Amino acid sequence: MSTLVDLREEVTDLVQRLVRVDTTNPPGNETAAAELLREYLEASGIDNCELIARTPERANLVARIPGGDGPSLLFLGHTDVVLADPAEWSVPPFSGELRDGMVWGRGAIDMKSQVAANAVAFASLAREGFKPSGDLIFAATADEENGTGFGLEWLCEAHPDVVRCDFSINEGGGDRVELEDGRAIYQATVAEKMTAPFRILVKGRSGHASMPRIADNALVNATRLIDRIADYRPEPQLGPEVEGFMQAVFGEVPPAAEVVERAAPLSPVAAVVLDALLGPTFSPTMISASQKRNVIPALCAVEVDCRLMPGQHPEDVEPTIRAVLGEDVDYELEWVEGAHGGTRSPLDTPLWRALEEWVAETEPGAIAAPLACVGFTDSHWLREAFGTVAYGFFPTTGELPPEVAAGLVHSADERIPVSDLEAGVSWLRHAAHAILS
């Protein structure tokens, strides 16, 4: 049987090799990472692994340790990463450098670290002759960052049987947050908000910029609407995830209006997340107007990043948005790109109990606390297609504080402590034994 020291070295090496494969999306080129993982798994004696691709250069890898007729468990992760500008980095972003006990490079956190831990946990169980009661599945998928139909969404539609599962472990949670009173909590995401972006087309009348009074400047009109969106605060509402978090941390659930105030003294980081989970959020992020400096624009487009509560839909909040914008500015509102996410999984499940057990065994006195993800992940495809119980949980050790780690995702100098990799492998192996033994 492999020791944790052996597995720590194994997962560190695999993360480094994965980071060195440039899978920037677009264009992706995830096949190179999938082939690396297949070679690694086959070296551990795993023959049941295949590359499944909509186009040859964008392959998904799916491997399986077949089991009986018990529940199935999927280790899920994506191999694509976002753009990295080398000029902003302290090390080459695809070097996979090991420095100060951390692996550096694009994807070190999001999420080649978890992909590697998934693979090492999966392979080490296979080497030990693990006989699961149901299938243990490992999927390293393409195209999560752009979501243009080459990854898990496509697999669920075109090859559902290869990823169909009862339980899944994915990204989106696991931060270890130390409270001001000395307690530690491990946050696990069991739901996610829906992304539902919209565009406001603000109208005016064009004219020569040298005579401002001759026109009706759509850009100036748009600033009034932007201010109203920025100033809006929805009536706070409690969802089951926030209720579960407050119950775990405080032993009670306060009124929604008191949640942030109660949480802030214990953890400013958690308070910021909780604030975003108490209602829909609307963040103006992009604006476009005149294409010439000397032309006052007749039309100004404002893009708004909108995140809805699990279970909410665009038609539920559009009346609220229009009320916030008011009626004194001429505009059109259109929903763009479609809405995704907004799903949740229950807490009363064997997977949640396994998570609580791992936390209790790893750090006595620590608490496993549920939350929703303020963004969304590929987990929603599984929930929608198969009713999968899907959690985001890749535990951290706190060596890299969560507020620092959060600032490194999609940013320069992305890196992850080796201790986090070891904790991740430990959790995944525990989950497999708890669910499938």
| CB distance 232 to 324 below 8 Å | yes
DSSP character at residue 423: H
Model pLDDT, residue 356: 98
Region 134-138: mean pLDDT is: 98
Q: What residues form DSSP beta bridges with 216?
A: 205
4-172+377-436 CATH fold: Aminopeptidase (3.40.630)
Report whether 382 contacts 168 (CB < 8 A): yes
Residue 153 is among the residues annotated as catalytic for this protein = no
Report which DSSP code applies to 163. H
pTM: 0.94
**Active site annotation includes 166:** no
CB 180 within 8 A of CB 266: yes
Radius of gyration for the alpha carbons in the chain, expressed in angstroms and rounded:
23
192-341: in CATH 3.40.309.10: no
Catalytic residue among 10, 80, 153, 166: 80
CB 173 within 8 A of CB 393: yes
Q: How many CB atoms lie within 10 A of CB 88?
A: 10
Task: Provide the token pair at 96.
Answer: 């996979």
Task: List, for residues 375-424, the tens digit of each pLDDT value.
Answer: 889 999 999 999 999 999 999 999 999 889 989 999 999 999 999 999 99
**How far is the C-alpha of 317 from the C-alpha of 282, rounded, in Å?**
11
pLDDT, position 375: 85
The overall average pLDDT reported for the chain is 96
> pLDDT at residue 317 above 70?
yes
- Cβ contacts of 9 within 8 Å, gap of 6 or more: none
Per-residue model confidence (pLDDT) at position 338: 85
Percentage above 90 pLDDT, the chain: 95
- 186-236: pLDDT as tens digits: 999 999 999 999 999 999 999 999 999 999 999 999 999 999 999 999 999
Domain boundaries, the chain: 4-172+377-436, 192-341
First vs last C-alpha separation in the chain: 17
Q: Which tokens belong to 214?
A: 């001759």
Q: Which of 10, 97, 135, 144 is catalytic?
A: 144
